[in-house]
């Protein structure tokens, strides 16, 4: 059993190390680009926020899980557990929302024919910063209840109504609260995933039509 935990810990450590190294390299690149203002694209701000959110996810969940896999338990107090779970949920939500926003932004930039879409396309770079800021505020408010149910691992009272994560624990809510929370997060995730699927499908169909129309257009020009 100890060997299995050691192997799991090594796997977690490698994955976390590669993820943190890659995310922090990208975060440094996009932050440097935004600070210098050289060759800044509208998507650079979105990508910067996406990498920042992914880095928070890795730090808030990867490090504790890796330490717990190596057998280090009870290294966080109750306040640290609350902050850890709260920022993990916030960063996860921001990552998903930013990915959805990026997919929609790319789809809009790809279709300049309709006047309403063209107007949105021209105004979209100006609202990128505001949208990224709004995502953080939204998920900070949506996940405000998360610290209320998270407790420290040392709190061993009423273990039957607690969920143990190895380094922290949380209260197991009743059926109604569990359904309400699941419905809230499912709705947000479903909307984001649906918009991403629509944007991806639209871009694939648009590029496919452009590719099939190009040989016909070139064939017509050869007769002129």
Domain boundaries, the chain: 2-216
* Closest-CA residue to 40 (of 50, 25, 30): 30
Q: Using one digit for the tens of pLDDT, what is the confidence trace for 67-123? A: 887 877 777 888 888 899 999 999 999 999 999 988 887 887 776 665 455 555 555
At 220 the pLDDT is 46
Single pTM value for the model: 0.79
Write down the mean pLDDT value for the chain.
78
Question: What is the CATH code of the structural domain delimited by 2-216?
Answer: 1.20.1070.10
pLDDT at residue 74, as a whole number: 74
Contacts of 137 (CB under 8 A, 6+ apart): none
Burial class (CB in 10 A: 0-12, 13-18, 19+), 20: middle
Q: Residue 187 has what pLDDT? A: 87
Alpha-carbon distance of 163 to 170, in angstroms, equals: 5
Read off the pLDDT of residues 118-154 as tens digits, 9 standing for 90 and up: 555 555 666 778 888 899 999 999 898 888 888 876 5
DSSP 170: E
Give the number of other Cβ atoms within 10 Å of residue 143's Cβ: 20
């Amino acid at each position: 059993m100890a060997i299995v935990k050691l192997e799991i810990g090594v796997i977690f450590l490698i994955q976390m190390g590669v993820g943190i190294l890659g995310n922090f390299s990208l975060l440094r690149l996009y932050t440097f680009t935004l600070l210098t203002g050289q060759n800044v694209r509208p998507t650079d701000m979105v990508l910067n926020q996406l990498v920042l959110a992914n880095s928070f996810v890795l730090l808030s969940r990867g490090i504790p899980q890796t330490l717990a896999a190596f057998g280090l338990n009870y290294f966080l107090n109750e306040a640290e557990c609350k902050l850890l779970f709260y920022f993990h949920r916030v960063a996860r939500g921001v990552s998903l929302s930013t990915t959805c926003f990026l997919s929609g932004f790319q789809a809009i930039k790809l279709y300049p024919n309709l006047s309403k879409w063209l107007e949105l396309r021209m105004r979209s770079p100006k609202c990128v910063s505001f949208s990224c800021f709004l995502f953080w505020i939204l998920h900070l408010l949506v996940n405000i209840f998360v610290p209320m149910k998270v407790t420290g691992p040392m709190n061993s009272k009423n273990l039957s109504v607690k969920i143990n994560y190895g380094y922290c624990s949380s209260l197991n809510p009743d059926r109604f609260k569990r359904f309400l929370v699941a419905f809230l997060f499912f709705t947000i995730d479903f909307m984001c995933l649906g918009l991403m699927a629509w944007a991806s499908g639209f871009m694939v169909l648009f590029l496919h039509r452009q590719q099939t129309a190009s040989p016909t257009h070139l064939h017509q020009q050869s007769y002129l």
